Amino acid sequence: MENIKKFSILFGILSIALSAMVVVASAASDSYNPYRIHGLYAVTGFSSCNPTGPGIFEGDYTFHNDGTGTAVGKVRMIVPGTPGANPATIGIALGFSLAFTYEVDKLGKIAFHYEQGFELENGIIWDQGPSHGAISPDGKTITITCGPPKVLTQVQPGNTGTMANCVTSAVGIRLNGGVVDE
């Protein structure tokens, strides 16, 4: 009888400990931090946002733990060559700069939001930029995209209301071990 009491007490203690571990693990997964990207990412890819032709998109995206970030880079447009010359050349390179906020869900999917739009160095500002992406579980690789064609509207200057169908697809890697000098 004494052994049964000892076994019952031991079993009860183990059950309570196991239950406590499950509750703690569950609470940890529910308290997910949606702003988990922090670092500098070099991003490159394809963009069709220029109404005259496709281009190469490359830039540096800086993410902060508070859900804000900035990006600077260039969009290099491919323009038709002249007869007898190279059929396609890199013609125009426009710099861009932007500030964004972002959210990351439990699967690592990113949603981008732009308060000021996507500004090119020639003064053209589009109403939005790439809208979503994903971050790898180890935080070393990122994708940034518009997804299916997205309609952008020029908000200033000059040709306000001009529209462009846009597809941007870029991949980036974390630089400097993800550390951002601040």
In sequence order, the 6+-apart residues with CB closer than 8 A to the CB of 25 are none
Is 3.40.30 the CATH number for 39-177?
Answer: no
In angstroms, the CA 93 to CA 90 distance is: 8
Tell me which of 9-23, 25-39, 100-114, 167-181 is least confident: 9-23
Global pTM value: 0.70
| pLDDT band at residue 82 under the 50/70/90 scheme | low
pLDDT confidence of residue 68: 94
3-state helix, strand, coil in the chain (%, to 5): 20, 45, 35
pLDDT, tens digit, 9 for 90 and up, residues 142-179: 999 887 777 777 776 666 677 777 888 899 999 976 55
DSSP string, 85-123: S-SEEEEEEEEEEEEEEEEE-TT-EEEEE-SS-EEETTS
Q: Where are the domains of the chain?
A: 1-31, 39-177
Q: Is the Cα dihedral 83, 85, 86, 90 positive or negative?
A: negative
- Which tokens is 60 given? 């540096």
Number of neighbours of residue 77 by Cβ within 10 angstroms:
19
* Average confidence score pLDDT of the chain: 75
Question: Once rounded to an integer, what is the mean pLDDT over residues 102-124?
Answer: 85
In sequence order, the 6+-apart residues with CB closer than 8 A to the CB of 18 are none
In sequence order, the 6+-apart residues with CB closer than 8 A to the CB of 153 are 126, 127, 161, 162, 163
In angstroms, the CA 39 to CA 138 distance is: 13
| Backbone phi, psi, residue 142, to 5° | -135, 145
Q: How buried is 79 (Cβ within 10 angstroms: 0-12 exposed, 13-18 middle, 19+ buried)?
A: middle
